[in-house]
C-alpha cells in the first residue's frame, strides 16, 4: 500500500482513533501520525501503546501541516474541536470526522472551517461497546461500511482521496445526505442501544426479581442486551441529544408497534404474533446473506461440549 498522506492528525484517540492509528501504521498510509487528546492520562496511554509519532494535548498544534485530520471525539465536542483547530489548518487539508450523527456535526463544525480546507463528514459503521485507547485494534474497519455525508460543493478530488483512504482500511464507502444518514442510523443503531439501555435499566429497577437472579439467569436473552447497554455513556448521551428528531420519530413508531404487540398478547391473537415473528426471522437471514453477521447459533459463543 502506498503512502497516501504525509501527515495525519488524529484528534481523539479512543476506540476509533486508536484503531485508525493501528491501521494507518500497519498499512503505511502516512509518513507521520500526530496524536492529540484532551487529557494527559489518555495521551500518556496512547504513547505507551505507540499509536503515533508525535503526541500533544493541543489539537491546534496537532493539525499544523497535517494533510488529513480525523476528529474522533463524542459528537457533542465537535464544535469546540472545530473552533480550536480552525486557525491552524493547512490550506488544502482534508478535515473529516467519525461521529455517529451527521447533521449536528455539520452544523457544529462547518461554520468554523476556513474556505481553503476540505471538510468531509464521515461515519464508519464499525465499533464495539468498549472505549478508550486500549479498546482499539487493527482491522476494525475491514469489510465495514463508511458513510460520507458531503456538504454541497465538496471538491471531487478531496472526496476521492478520502474514499481511497477508507478503502485502503478495507471499508466499503457510501454517500448520502446527512438527514437521511441520521434517520437510517436512528433505526439500525441508535434505537437498539436505547432499547437495550432501557431494558437493562428496567431489570435493575425490578423489585420482584432480584439483581442476583437477573445476573444468574441472564443467558436466556437478557445478556445480548447488556452488551449494547455497556456502551460508553458519554458517546451515547451525545448521540441521543444530537440526533434528537430522528430518534424521537423512530421511538414513536416503535411505541406504536409495541402497543400492537401488547394488544395481540392481551387478546390471545396468536396469528398476529406468529406473523410478526416470522417476518422478523427473514430479516435476520437477509443480514447473514449480506455478510453483516455470521450464521453461527448464539452468535458463535462457545458451548460446553463444543468440539475443541
Ligand atoms: P472513546 O473511546 O470514548 O474516545 C473518545 C476520545 O475523545 C478520547 O480521546 C477523549 O479524550 C476525547 N474526548 C472526550 N470528550 C471530549 C471533549 N469534550 N472534548 C475533546 N475531546 C474529548 O470514543 P470512541 O468510541 O472512539 O468514539 C469517538 C467517536 O466515534 C464518537 O463521535 C462516536 O459517535 C463515533 N463512533 C463510535 C463508534 C463506537 O462503536 N464506539 C462507532 C462509530 C463511530 P480524553 O480521553 O483525553 O478525555
**Which one has a higher pLDDT value, 7 or 210?**
7
Give dist(CA 70, CA 94) in Å, integer. Answer: 9
Cα 150-156-158 angle, rounded to 5 deg: 80
- Read off the pLDDT of each residue in 9-14 and give the average, rounded to a whole number: 98
- Taking only the tens place, the pLDDT of each residue in 185-229 is 999 999 999 999 999 999 988 888 888 888 888 888 899 999 999
Give dist(CA 85, CA 73) in Å, integer. Answer: 14
Residue 230: all three cell numbers together: 455497556
Categorize the per-residue pLDDT at 169 as very low, low, confident or very high, splitting at 50, 70 and 90: very high
Instruction: Indicate whether this model's pTM tops 0.85.
Output: yes
Q: Are 135 and 128 in contact (CB under 8 A)?
A: yes
Burial of 9 (0-12, 13-18, 19+ CB in 10 A): buried
- Is the CB–ligand 1 distance for residue 74 below 6 Å? yes
C-alpha of residue 27 to centroid of ligand 1, in Å: 23
- Is the CB–ligand 1 distance for residue 15 below 6 Å? yes
Residue 91: all three cell numbers together: 490550506
Specify the residue for cell string 468440539. Answer: 307
- Is the CB–ligand 1 distance for residue 136 below 6 Å? no
- Taking only the tens place, the pLDDT of each residue in 117-165 is 999 999 999 999 999 999 999 999 999 999 999 999 999 999 999 999 9
- Read off the pLDDT of each residue in 79-102 and give the average, rounded to a whole number: 98
pLDDT cut 90: percent of the chain above it: 87
- Taking only the tens place, the pLDDT of each residue in 101-130 is 999 999 999 999 999 999 999 999 999 999
- Is the CB–ligand 1 distance for residue 67 below 6 Å? no
- Is the CB–ligand 1 distance for residue 235 below 6 Å? yes
Atom in ligand 1 nearest the alpha carbon of residue 38: 47
Domains and CATH numbers, the chain: 5-176 (3.40.50.720), 180-268 (1.10.3660.10)
Atom in ligand 1 nearest the alpha carbon of residue 124: 43
Query: If residue 266 lies in a helix (H) or strand (E), which one and from where to where?
Result: helix 244-266
Burial of 34 (0-12, 13-18, 19+ CB in 10 A): buried
Q: Are 13 and 37 in contact (CB under 8 A)?
A: yes
Handedness of CA 302, 297, 213, 193 (dihedral sign): positive
Q: How far apart are the first and last CA of the chain?
A: 37
SS3 call for 64: coil
Q: Is the pLDDT of residue 290 over 80?
A: yes
Amino acid at each position: 500500500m502506498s503512502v497516501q498522506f504525509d501527515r495525519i492528525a488524529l484528534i481523539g484517540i479512543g476506540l476509533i482513533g486508536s484503531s485508525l492509528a493501528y491501521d494507518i501504521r500497519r498499512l503505511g498510509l502516512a509518513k507521520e501520525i500526530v496524536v492529540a487528546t484532551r487529557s494527559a492520562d489518555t495521551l500518556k496511554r496512547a504513547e505507551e501503546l505507540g499509536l503515533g509519532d508525535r503526541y500533544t494535548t493541543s489539537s491546534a498544534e496537532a493539525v499544523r501541516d497535517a494533510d488529513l485530520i480525523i476528529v474522533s471525539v463524542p459528537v457533542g465536542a465537535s464544535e469546540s474541536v472545530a473552533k480550536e483547530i480552525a486557525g491552524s489548518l493547512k490550506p488544502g487539508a482534508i478535515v473529516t470526522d467519525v461521529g455517529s450523527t451527521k447533521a449536528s456535526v455539520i452544523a457544529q463544525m462547518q461554520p468554523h472551517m476556513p474556505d481553503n480546507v476540505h471538510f468531509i463528514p464521515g461515519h464508519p459503521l464499525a465499533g464495539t461497546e468498549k472505549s478508550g485507547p486500549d479498546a482499539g485494534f487493527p482491522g476494525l474497519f475491514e469489510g465495514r461500511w463508511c458513510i460520507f455525508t458531503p456538504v454541497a460543493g465538496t471538491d471531487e478530488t478531496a472526496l476521492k482521496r478520502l474514499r481511497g483512504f477508507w478503502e485502503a482500511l478495507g471499508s466499503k464507502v457510501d454517500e448520502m445526505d446527512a438527514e437521511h444518514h441520521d434517520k437510517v442510523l436512528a433505526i439500525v443503531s441508535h434505537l437498539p442501544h436505547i432499547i437495550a439501555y432501557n431494558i437493562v435499566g428496567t431489570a435493575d429497577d425490578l423489585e420482584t426479581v432480584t439483581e442476583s437472579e437477573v445476573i444468574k439467569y441472564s443467558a436466556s436473552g437478557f445478556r445480548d442486551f447488556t452488551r449494547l447497554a455497556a456502551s460508553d455513556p458519554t458517546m451515547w448521551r451525545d448521540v441521543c441529544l444530537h440526533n434528537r428528531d430522528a430518534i424521537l420519530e423512530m421511538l414513536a413508531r416503535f411505541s406504536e408497534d409495541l402497543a400492537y404487540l401488547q394488544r395481540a398478547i392481551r387478546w390471545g391473537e396468536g396469528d398476529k404474533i406468529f406473523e410478526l415473528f416470522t417476518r422478523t426471522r427473514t430479516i435476520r437471514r437477509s443480514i447473514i446473506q449480506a455478510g453483516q453477521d455470521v450464521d453461527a447459533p448464539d452468535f458463535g459463543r462457545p458451548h460446553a461440549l463444543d468440539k475443541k
